[in-house]
Copies of this chain bind each other. A is one copy, B any other.
Amino acid sequence: MKQTGRCCTSVLRSRLGRHDADELATAFKAVADPGRLRLLSFIAAQPSAEACVCNLVAPLGLSQPTVSHHLKVLTDAGLLARERRGTWMFYRLVPERVEALRQALALPASKTSTRRSA
């Protein structure tokens, strides 16, 4: 999900073209990792939905390079924004981006219940 401002086409409300499918798959790949999901969850749970990178290693039991890699993937996907404050980098959840990804899985109103017979 490059930050083009057009993410995310709904998968289920219209026929997804090849380009949109590529873009959306990249966005879902960003959240398709347990370490990245736990990082997102940890940051979202902070009072201002942001955290210093210095506080992100110990709670998750991941190595510093692994955390750095995951933060880069999430930032590249637009799900986190970062800001330097003095020595440290702070990471903040980007709710609009999360919501856009969530909306990509929105069902059409006519298909919100399961059809079990034809």
Question: Which chain A residues have a beta carbon within 8 Å of chain B's beta carbons?
Answer: 11-16, 18, 21-22, 24-25, 28-29, 31-38, 40-42, 44-45, 48-50, 81, 92-96, 98-99, 101-102, 105-108, 111-115, 118
Contact = CB atoms under 8 A, between A and B. Distances in A.
Contact of A32 (B32, B34, B44, B49): B32
B113 A95 contact: yes
Q: How many copies does the complex hold?
A: 2
Given A29-B32, A95-B113, A21 B37 contact: yes
A38 B44 CA distance: 30
Contacts of A101: 105
Contact of A114 (B94, B107, B118): B94
B37 A11 contact: yes
A16 B32 contact: no
Contacts of A95: 107, 111-114
